[in-house]
Structure 1
Amino acid sequence: MALILPVRPHTVVFESFDGKLPSDSPLAIYDQLKATHPDWNVFWSVKPGTLAEAQQLHPTVQFVKRFSVRWLFLLPRAQFWVANARMPFWLHKNRGTTYIQTWHGTPLKRLGLDISDVAMPGTDTKKYHKAFITESHRWDYLIAPNQYSEDIFKHAFDFSNHFLETGYPRNDVLVNHRSDDELIASLKQKIVGHATGRVIVYAPTWRDDYYVEVGKYRMNLPFDLDTVVKLLGPEDTFIIRPHYLVADSLTIRDYEGRVKILPDTDINELYLIADLLITDYSSVMFDYAILARPMLFYPYDRAHYQQDIRGFYFDYDLVPGPIVTEAEGFYEQLKRFMRSGGWPEYQEKEAHFRDEFCGWEQGTAAEQVVDLMSKLGEKHD
């Protein structure tokens, strides 16, 4: 059911990851909108427990607490919603509201209606699919980072409205600053404390079935941290970027000087400072490929994950880097990277991967979305 109320022109509500800190493509669109339309009335929806930190990090932003009375009055009257994840299913959308869904990654793993057996606690496959359809049918526009994703989104989300073939707004900074040595040095200084040495980022996906209880997941490192640290040079840094759902389950005691756990740092800043990305099934591989830097793939539970949990949309052997499934192989490939800085034999594969998945990334996605919002906003002037 949609509400029929007059919307407030040029009023926009942004949200990322169900009310977490401003981030991802919604933040890139927000920054572009504020730069070009400073008179618009723009809000960020955040969870109550996140509000204080959000206000400290973004003192000029108008925040509204998720599910507050003000929030419940604001969203049904906003002209635009911009989000990268699902909004609450019980929140009715105004017929005059334009909902722009940015989503948050190129899919390697099966999504939405394509997950045949949902393993997440607190729901079942039928309920999960129904909730997804309820949500996706409210989206007026959905951003597609590439043709591959657009084709998948059509059936995974049962989406038949308008696609924005812009690439991801969050990736504009990667396209525009991938060769900005001065910026990269300053980011390294800020994040790791020095501008020298190599940075290796380990960014695995989260496992739907690795849960302790409803809403609480865990993460186990598939390697010996002591062995990894001993492979590093004296100024190198190993960064673990866990999914926010499992960050609290990790500890790096005794390795604080060489290893960092950074679940909330802007992922684009980590990409820009990383000399090597290590991942498994995470969509980070598609964004990082924009930078044309080495990647190492460590899908230690590939058979279980591919067959029993999610399943993949494409042949995993097409990933643009070495694939290892056991710790010893992982250490050997890491040693090779430390010696030579990469894997020259994968350059052709890397180029093909970039062409297929990064071709729409031109560094103007946020600008294109804001241009659309501006044109739609004119209808209410």
Structure 2
Amino acid sequence: MRKKKKILRLLHTMISNMAIWLVQNAYRLLFWFFGKLPADHKLVIFESFFGRQYSCNPRAIYEHMKNHCPEYRLIWISERGYEKIFDAHQVPYVRRYSLHWVLLMCRAGYWVTNIRFPKWFHKPAHTIYLQTWHGTPLKKLALDTEEYFLGGTTVEQYKKNFVKESGMWDYLVSPNRYSSEIFTRAFGFNGSMIETGYPRNDFLYRANDHETIEQIKERCGLPKDKKIILYAPTWRDDQFYTKGKYKFKLDLDLKQMRAALGKDYLIIIRLHYLIADQLDLSGYRGFAYDFSRHEDIRELYLISDLLITDYSSVFFDYANLKRPMIFFTYDLESYKNHLRGFYFDFERMAPGPIVRTTGQVIKSIRDIEDTGFAVGSNFVPFFDQFCDLEDGHASERVVNRVFNHQSS
């Protein structure tokens, strides 16, 4: 019986792999065929996080082009089940992997995305691929990594696939000089680097006012009489269910947090887009809120009085608001020495206290209160190195460079 089950599992795996291979090759053939059709050089296709968000750098570039480049036709990619996001914003979209999507992708003059496309993608010769990426790197990336934890491929194959993908990029957006150097090496990138600051951070400069913040709180259903803590941790490479779906264990003790801070604070939690878990916060109503599916983290930055994170690149963006940050790194040694490794001395340069326990998180918040919510002593040199290009006009600079469009 046991042998029969093993054979059935093996047969199921073989059939599944064969089906995937057939589908991928069918798409590859369609891309090759439709790629020979006449190009539409004024068609721009946008995607953010696999078609599951209307967010990040692609959104900022889209919004600038919508207002300043009427000669272009702008269309978003939506993953099946996420259409309501784009409907709500009255954004034109096409469903990912549909035949219409293949046709538009193959005829488009431009692709704008913040993640990698599947390895079977083929870029037509007439298409300009603008890769915006999605963060300033603390953790080692791509060719700089030494291990790859997900099954199905080796670290060597992972790197080979990455170089193949980056070989299609015509332009790559960089938020600062530090990132430009790392991206060039880690991605094996040989195209044109656009060092402009991150378009997605324009919002933090242009919308940072009391009226906008209050409107966002009201739309999110949050009370306006409490300070807001944003907790935005990253994913762990070795904790996953299947490829691309990571586990997450909430090590922050919400019961302890609520007992100490619940009178004056609430906490909004934003998990990384790769994390598959959904938080059960039913026991913490009125104090803890799950905003992992909120359309764009930029609004959560804006309404938060302080940030708690770990190794996520969110702290580079949040720094633009010049608000305090706490680094809850309960697994620092393991993450630094085993999972990823860092590009700089994180413990020395972090623009806020590094803590290991919930009790230390609470103490750090009280210390921040005593300073009137001032930033830490490391903040100024950190800001000068990583945020020096940010001024609210990065989207304009990217569009002017890539689309050769001078805004009036």
TM-score (norm 1): 0.92
2:310 aligned partner: 280
Would you say 1:353 and 2:382 are equivalent positions? yes
2:335 aligned partner: 305
CA contact (8 A) 1:321 1:343 kept: no
Residues 1:186 and 1:364: Cα distance change in structure 2 (over 3 Å): same
1:120 aligned partner: 150
2:65 aligned partner: 33
Q: Deviations over 1:44-101 (max 9, x none)?
A: 11112222x2343222x22111111111111111000000001122121111111000
2:45 aligned partner: 13
How far apart in 1 are the matches of 2:339 and 2:126? Answer: 39
How far apart in 2 are the matches of 1:358 and 1:38? Answer: 31
Would you say 1:243 and 2:275 are equivalent positions? no
Structural mapping, 1:123-202, within 5 Å? 123-178=153-208, 180-202=209-231
Following TM superposition, by how much is the alpha carbon of 1:22 offset from its aligned partner in structure 2, in angstroms? 1.6
How far apart in 2 are the matches of 1:87 and 1:308? Answer: 27
CA contact (8 A) 1:5 1:94 kept: no
How far apart in 2 are the matches of 1:91 and 1:231? Answer: 51
How far apart in 2 are the matches of 1:375 and 1:216? Answer: 39
- Unpaired runs of 5+ residues, structure 1, are none
How far apart in 2 are the matches of 1:233 and 1:49? Answer: 35
Structural mapping, 1:77-116, within 5 Å? 77-116=107-146
Following TM superposition, by how much is the alpha carbon of 1:367 offset from its aligned partner in structure 2, in angstroms? 1.2
How far apart in 2 are the matches of 1:183 and 1:376? Answer: 29
Would you say 1:296 and 2:326 are equivalent positions? yes
Residues 1:48 and 1:255: Cα distance change in structure 2 (over 3 Å): same
2:299 aligned partner: 269
1:332 aligned partner: 363
Q: Which runs of 4+ in 1 moved over 6 A?
A: none
CA contact (8 A) 2:51 2:78 kept: yes
Amino acid at match of 1:337: I
Secondary structure of 2:355's partner?
coil
2:395 aligned partner: 366
How far apart in 2 are the matches of 1:55 and 1:249? Answer: 22
CA contact (8 A) 2:45 2:105 kept: yes
How far apart in 2 are the matches of 1:202 and 1:321? Answer: 14
CA contact (8 A) 2:262 2:287 kept: no
Q: Deviations over 1:359-380 (max 9, x none)?
A: 0112111112222344279xxx
Amino acid at match of 1:7: A
Which range moves more in the overlay, 25-34 or 226-235? Answer: 226-235
TM-score (norm 2): 0.86
Residues 1:286 and 1:68: Cα distance change in structure 2 (over 3 Å): same
Following TM superposition, by how much is the alpha carbon of 1:227 offset from its aligned partner in structure 2, in angstroms? 0.6
Secondary structure of 1:183's partner?
helix
How far apart in 2 are the matches of 1:86 and 1:312? Answer: 22
Amino acid at match of 2:268: I
2:354 aligned partner: 323
1:23 aligned partner: 55
Q: Deviations over 1:178-236 (max 9, x none)?
A: 3x122122222222433222000011111111113334322111122111012225352
How far apart in 2 are the matches of 1:253 and 1:375? Answer: 51
How far apart in 2 are the matches of 1:192 and 1:155? Answer: 44
How far apart in 2 are the matches of 1:313 and 1:68? Answer: 40
1:210 aligned partner: 239
Q: Deviations over 1:141-186 (max 9, x none)?
A: 00000000000001110012111111111000112233x1221222
1:231 aligned partner: 260
Secondary structure of 1:48's partner?
coil
Amino acid at match of 1:30: Y
How far apart in 2 are the matches of 1:279 and 1:55? Answer: 29
1:219 aligned partner: 248
Following TM superposition, by how much is the alpha carbon of 1:337 offset from its aligned partner in structure 2, in angstroms? 3.2
Which range moves more in the overlay, 32-41 or 185-194? Answer: 185-194
CA contact (8 A) 2:51 2:96 kept: yes
- Unpaired runs of 5+ residues, structure 2, are 1-27
Following TM superposition, by how much is the alpha carbon of 1:107 offset from its aligned partner in structure 2, in angstroms? 0.3
How far apart in 2 are the matches of 1:185 and 1:54? Answer: 22
CA RMSD of aligned residues (A): 2.0
CA contact (8 A) 2:327 2:352 kept: yes
How far apart in 2 are the matches of 1:233 and 1:72? Answer: 50
